[in-house]
Amino acid sequence: LFIVISPVLPFNNFAKSFIVVSGSMEPSIKTGSIAITRPIPPSQIKKGDIVAFTSPDNPKNTILHRIDSIKSTDPLIFLTKGDNNNTPDSWEVSSIAIIGSYVYSIPYLGNAASFIRQPLGFVLMIVVPALLFIFFQIFNINRAIDYEVNKKIEEKNRQNNFFSILIIALSLSSIIATSPIKNVNAFFSDTSQISGINLKTIIPTPTPTITPTATPTPKPTGYHCKFRDWHCNFGHHWFKDKFRAFLRKNHQYVRFNFFNFPKFGPKDYLNYELVYRSHDLEKGISGSFDLKNNSNLEIEQFLGTCSGTDCTPDFKSITSATLYIKGEINSEAIELEGPVDFE
């Protein structure tokens, strides 16, 4: 089995790699494989070991065969044979010709290594990928430069537009401030002759009545929802089947429940305010939901007036209750309102 030294695996100090170019060791070692050997003292070699050695017939060739027998121990002389050969080798191998002991082989990798060593293989496997890599790197660098240049141009254009608008506004303000415009009033005049007396009635121009225009209530950003049963679907389904608020008849308190609600991020928050009517008076409580470390949360709030340890519940006289929730989740504003269920 003739082999050639392979440059594929560069660890000659610890092991050597060879490209197998013949089939005398098949099926144990296939042609075109990369064979790995390690240094071994000749005295440790025994019958059946596969070793790489310098050919006794041609020192330029390296052979990988199995030890068929040990002819002598002083000096060490080995007889070898290829697994695919019918007869042992005709030569005798001395201990100084031993290069190393076979460890394992990598099938077909030697074919690729041999191809790379040829001019065409070197161009296709090394030069072309390197050129493609350099081309794509240059392309990415140029694209990044174009992006930065366009970004700078856009920023400069925005600054120029801002200063242009500012100059126009200042110019108009200066013209209006320095122009000779005065406030004047127009009057109606009526003169009558009565018994030699001039009567002049001066009627000022009536002041027009200006009807104020109602300013529409601004809508909150994000998601807004009004609902009856607190199973409202808005946007990302955060509250759908995950939140409920209800009034307990027997215990005079309101309860809030969260089920598998996503944990808040560092900037998320939800504040609430419950407004209810009791004895024809509007009352309320407020607070916040802390879901930073909890996905399931239950909060109970007493409804009534307390003085020291004495508390007077308002529940029996409550006629209506509305819950308001405001906050922010994932940088989106949340604003909800709706009636609270009675239980």
**Would the CA dihedral through 325, 326, 330, 332 be positive or negative?**
positive
Q: Are 230 and 242 in contact (CB under 8 A)?
A: no
Gap between the Cα atoms of 41 and 44, Å rounded: 6
Gap between the Cα atoms of 209 and 134, Å rounded: 77
Phi-psi category of residue 241: left, alpha or beta, with phi > 0 → left and psi -120 to 50 → alpha: left
Gap between the Cα atoms of 66 and 53, Å rounded: 10
Q: Can you spell out the DSSP letters for 47-99?
A: TT-EEEEE-SS-TT-EEEEEEEEEEEETTEEEEEE-TT-SS--SS-EEGGGEE
Which residue among 22, 55, 94, 114 is the active-site one?
22
Gap between the Cα atoms of 223 and 270, Å rounded: 13
Q: Which residue has the tokens 């019918």?
A: 86
- Helix (H) / strand (E) element for 309: namely none
Q: Are strands 341-342 and 243-248 parallel, antiparallel or unpaired?
A: parallel
Gap between the Cα atoms of 80 and 70, Å rounded: 9
Q: Residue 179 catalytic?
A: no
Closest CA to 24 of 47, 43, 52: 52
Active-site annotation, residues = 22
